[in-house]
Amino acid sequence: MPLRNSLHRRSHKERSQLAHRSKLGLLEKHKDYVLRARDYRSKRDRLRTLKVKAETKNKDEFYFGMNGRKTKKGVEYRSRRGEGALPEDMVKVLKTQDEGYLRTLKY
């Protein structure tokens, strides 16, 4: 479309909510509906693909990433081994080892 035609075009504004319908809440504009519908469809499609993946999953399949996971009643969860705080004496030993390692790199 040429520029001279687009300059004289009037921008159309959407109507506001009618006064007697204000008790129903905000009026959903078309652009809001489009966003909401697009979001709904993307979530629906994602769930659909996850469902297909779960149905076609081979239960005898093994990956090394499974070593750190456990199942409880068929639901996978990652074991939380190694996330706790270390004791103070262990931290001191590790820091002295780090300092010694840095000293060897420096010279």
- pLDDT tens per residue across span 57-75: 888 888 887 777 788 887 8
Phi and psi at residue 72, to the nearest 5° = -130, 115
pTM: 0.44
- pLDDT tens per residue across span 17-62: 888 988 888 888 899 999 999 999 999 999 999 999 999 988 888 8
In sequence order, which residues have a C-beta less than 8 Å from that of residue 86 and are 6 or more positions away? Answer: 94
Angle, alpha carbons 9-10-16 (nearest 5°): 155
Check residue 63 and give its pLDDT: 83
Check residue 14 and give its pLDDT: 76
Check residue 107 and give its pLDDT: 66
Report DSSP letters for 73-94, one per residue.
TTEEEE--TT-SPPPHHHHHHH
> What ranges make up the beta strands (E) of the chain?
69-72, 75-78
